[in-house]
Amino acid sequence: MPAEYSRAERLGEQIKRDLALLIQRELKDPRLGMITVNFCDLSKDLSYADLSVTVMVPDDSDDNIVKSLAILNEAAPFLRMELGRELNIRKVPHLRFHYDDSLKRGAQINGLIHEALKSDRHG
């Protein structure tokens, strides 16, 4: 009987949960906004973890988001080491952080729908 989830999916979910806690607990850089880890995509050989994150910063400019991603990617070796202490696996994947703009795109689409509905009512 096949497993419901593959090992990579289970490990990706565990990495996502553990990293969310590690980032919140261990990274104290004041330039770093509030980070939400949305998705973890592991390579087939489990050597790389591509992490989609949302960054909430006071000024939602692209510059602040880029800076936050740079901070996360600079902290990746430290986070990988800490993750290795949490997980019971032989080889901890290298971490690569990417910005997930789905919330921003969702808000834009929602605004367009709202405007279209408003114009239909009035026009």
pLDDT at 60 (0 to 100): 67
Q: What are the chain's domains? A: 7-122 (3.30.300.20)
Buried b (16+ CB within 10 A) or exposed e, 1-23: eeeeeeebeebbebbbebbbebb
pLDDT band for 76, please (50, 70, 90 cuts).
very high
pLDDT band for 49, please (50, 70, 90 cuts).
very high
Pair 94, 122: CB distance under 8 Å: no
Q: How far apart are CA 66 and CA 85, in angstroms?
A: 28
pLDDT at 2 (0 to 100): 53
Q: How far apart are CA 122 and CA 43, in angstroms?
A: 51
pLDDT band for 122, please (50, 70, 90 cuts).
confident
Q: Which two tokens stand for residue 29?
A: 């850089």
Buried b (16+ CB within 10 A) or exposed e, 76-108: beebbebbeeeeeeeebbebebebbeeeeeeee
- Phi first, then psi, for residue 59 (nearest 5°) are -105, 110
Q: How far apart are CA 61 and CA 95, in angstroms?
A: 24
pLDDT at 1 (0 to 100): 42
pLDDT at 30 (0 to 100): 86
Report which of residues 77 and 106 the model is more confident about.
77
Per the DSSP assignment, residues forming a β-bridge with 55 are 35
